[in-house]
Structure 1
Amino acid sequence: MRIAVTGSVATDHLLVFPGRFAEQLIEGRLDRVSLSFLADRLDVRPGGVGANITFGLARLGLRPVLVGAAGTDFADLGRSLRAAGVDTSAVRISDRLHTARFVCTTDADQNQIATFYAGAMAEARHIDLAEVRGAVGGLDLVLVGADDPQAMLRHTATAHALDLDVAADPSQQLARLTGEQTRHLVDGARWLFTNEYEAALLQRRTGWSAAEVLHKVGTWIVTRGADGVSVLSADSPPLDVPAVEPRTVADPTGVGDAFRAGFLAGVAWELPYRRAAQLGCALATVVLESVGTQEYKLLPGDLVARLEHAYGRGAVRDVEPLLADVS
């Protein structure tokens, strides 16, 4: 299965605040917040949801296509992605804007406050997914991730017109999208990804109930942090998959992207959704234990051990034979 991931390409500026955001917020004064947090660590790393998800897919042995826009400073990022196995031929390079920037501060409770500067990402709307499909020799599945909103709408419409399976993943852009835009992105998707907070926000944006959302999509995957993942569909009972317990916690940035990579790899390998979600949870924990979203080491033996510890030999029996190309 050939998977294209449309979404942001960015540089992450990850800061750590040793205190707790909640202790700095004053009840009754949240309409006028003026705060500054003194961080005691800064890491500058490659990131962006599109780049992160394709990196994870490539680490699992697939050959994903990254579809997004970056600046002239993409050279080093591009080299590292290609070295990992990502096809970057569909990345548009701006001649006037820098690659997007993600600035995120994490507190002692793993809460995060982030700001995203679009930069060259705004040019993603000029990418024609039909041309990409022809250039790479065909596509089977397109994940439409957080990106320039006009690009997300265009890619969704094109993917449906080409009769490609669509995974809708509006995530951080739900705060920017209108109700009509959100409905357009979700309606007809075979898979919908949100976290628990985004699930509620999506219902508010669309005006649809949870049941109505499930009638618009094939399967709705809701990540719940330490509480695991729920896989929902209109015609079957909810499937709840517990999280894989981490050995340590380094940085939550990119954990959701890693889950998506693991889940979609499971889909590509035609695993049942339970196993795909378990693989996603295991990969997510590897990233949770690392600083940065594309620096983690992935070893087949380690991934198998995590799966066995969390889910038993059955999970290992189904997944281990598929991990021969893990890098």
Structure 2
Amino acid sequence: MRIAVSGSIATDHLMAFPGRFTDQLIPDQLAHISLSFLVDDLEVRRGGVAANIAYGLGQLGLTPLLVGSVGLDFGPYEIWLKEQGVDTGAVRVSDTAQTARFVCITDQDSNQIAAFYAGAMSEAREIDLAAAAQDRPDLVLVCANDPAAMLRHTRQATGLGIPFAADPSQQLARLTGEEASELVDGATWLFTNEYEAALLAERTGRTREDILASVGTWVTTLGERGVRIERSGESELLVPAVPCGHVTDPTGAGDGFRAGFLAASAAGLPLLAAGRLGCAVAASVLDTVGPQGYAADPGLLAERVRDAYGAEAAAELRPVLGRDA
């Protein structure tokens, strides 16, 4: 299965704060916040939601097509992605802007404060999906990106008759209700976390039932509680998370889940198996620093699934993990 992943490509600057953000907030001074956090650690990592998901799909044996806009500084990052099995032929290089930057501070409770510089990402709206994807993909995943690019690529996928998956995530805060509705209506898959699910309903002025009726399958990640998978007219499916003893860094866990889920779906596996593999990949991300610091080792993933869900669950994933399952 050929999956095109349209979205952000960025460099992540990840910092660790040894205290709690909440301890630094003075309730009667919230209108005048001026804070500086002395951090213990800084990691510079490759990131961006589209690149993270494409990396995970490549690790799991697919050859995803990455669609996004970057700066002239992208060279070493591109080599890395190609080595992981990612097709970068549809990546646009800006002549003027640098690759996007994500700057994030994480406290000891895994709360995060972040900023995102769009840079070259703002030029992603110039990418023509039909021209970029010379080999027609079987699915287009539209992730957080320049909002105009998200709308354009959703419209182009629909116009070309290509199934698409909607993953608006962080950009929901910038979208109008009409734009958010256009990005999700008709999606084969809709991905959100729990907060984004509530924000999507608020932003569009629609009930969860209305949104669910407009998509094929709605997949909502619930953090340590796992994932909820819903289809209109059917009972919801809850998949427990794969236990992770110590969270090294939460950045990119949702992207890892999406890669595992879509890889299993591409192999024709049922929703429950797809959810379980997604949770196993997410746990691997949590074990490492940065969203592309993990290796999706089939043996380790099979062991995680076996420990969390049983031997039969691991065996069901053999189309993706091979004999290790």
Fold conserved between structures, TM > 0.5? yes
Amino acid at match of 1:247: G
Pairs within 5 Å for 1:154-169: 154-169=152-167
Alignment of structure 1 residues 291-302 onto 2, 5 Å = 291-302=289-300
CA gap of 1:28–1:207, structure 2 versus 1, over 3 A, is farther
* SS at structure 2 position matched to 1:42: strand
Asked whether 1:249 is paired with 2:247, we answer yes
Within a 5 Å distance, the mapping from 1:275-286 to structure 2 comes to 275-286=273-284
1:306 aligns with 2:307: no
Q: Structure 1 stretch 66-75 or stretch 314-323: which is displaced more?
A: 314-323
Pair 1:206 & 2:197 matched: no
Residues 21-170 of structure 1 mapped to structure 2, 5 A cutoff? 21-133=21-133, 135=134, 137-170=135-168
> Which has the higher mean CA deviation after the structures are superposed, 16-25 or 55-64?
16-25
Does structure 1 conserve the Cα–Cα contact (< 8 Å) formed by 2:264 and 2:320? no
Contact 2:267 2:319 in 1 (8 A): no
Cα distance between partner residues in 2 of 1:166 and 1:23: 43
Pairwise CA distance, 1:105: 0.4
Q: Structure 2 CA distance, aligned partners of 1:114 and 1:126? A: 27
Match of 1:264 in 2: 262
Report the Cα offset of residue 321 of structure 1: 4.0
Structure 2 CA distance for aligned equivalents of residues 31 and 169 of structure 1: 32
Percent identity, aligned pairs only?
A: 58
Residue type of the alignment partner of 1:30: L
SS for the counterpart of 1:114 is strand
Partner SS for 2:151: helix
Summarize the Cα distance change of 1:99–1:14 in structure 2 as closer, same or farther, 3 Å threshold: same
Counterpart of 2:211, as a letter, is V
Q: Which moved more, 1:275-284 or 1:315-324?
A: 315-324
1:247-291: per-residue Cα shift (whole Å, max 9, x none)? Answer: 321100000000000011011001101100100000000000000
> Residues 14 and 103 of structure 1 are in contact (CA less than 8 Å); yes or no, is this contact kept in structure 2?
yes
Shift of 1:28: 4.1
What is the Cα deviation at residue 322 of structure 1? Answer: 2.4
Q: CA shift at 1:64, angstroms?
A: 0.3
Q: CA deviation at 1:36?
A: 1.3
- Give yes or no for contact 1:66–1:86 (8 Å, CA) kept in 2: yes
Shift of the alpha carbon at 1:173?
0.5
Query: C-alpha distance in 1, partners of 2:63/2:219?
Result: 23
Write out aligned runs for 1:183-262 (5 A): 183-262=181-260
Counterpart-to-counterpart distance in 2, 1:271 and 1:147: 29
Cα distance, 1:314 vs. partner?
A: 1.7
Whether contact under 8 Å (2:263, 2:320) holds in the other structure is: no
Q: Deviations over 1:34-59 (max 9, x none)?
A: 21111110000100001000000000
Matched, 1:315 2:313: yes
Confirm or deny: 8 A CA contact 1:167 1:189 kept in the other structure: yes
Structure 1 spans left out of the alignment, 5+ residues: none
**Alpha-carbon contact 1:61-1:325 (below 8 Å) kept:** no
Tell me by how many angstroms 1:32 deviates.
2.9
- Please give the secondary structure, in 2, of the residue aligned with 1:240: strand
C-alpha displacement at 1:325, in angstroms?
A: 10
Contact persistence 1:60–1:325 (CA under 8 A): no
Gaps of 5+ in 2: none
- Contact conserved, 1:221 with 1:229, CA < 8 A, in 2? yes
- Quick one: distance in 2 between partners of 1:28 and 1:233? 44
1:25 aligned partner, one-letter code: L
Q: Alignment RMSD, CA only?
A: 1.2
How many Å separate the matches in 2 of 1:197 and 1:31? 24
In the TM superposition, what whole-angstrom CA distance separates every residue of 1:92-149 from its partner, at most 9, and x where no partner exists? 000110000000000000011110000000010000111123x2x2211000000000
Q: Secondary structure at the match of 1:297?
A: coil
Asked if 1 retains the 8 angstrom alpha-carbon contact of 2:72 and 2:99, the reply is yes
> Is the CA contact 1:308–1:315 (under 8 Å) kept in the aligned structure 2?
yes
User: Residue 27 of structure 1: CA displacement?
Assistant: 2.5
The whole-number CA distance in structure 1 between the counterparts of 2:323 and 2:55 is 14
Cα deviations across residues 45-82 of structure 1 (Å, max 9, x unaligned)?
10000100000000000000000000000000000000
Return the alpha-carbon distance in structure 1 between the equivalents of residues 280 and 28 of structure 2.
Answer: 41
Report the Cα distance in structure 2 between the residues aligned to 1:85 and 1:325, rounded to whole angstroms: 21
| TM-score normalised by L of structure 2 | 0.98
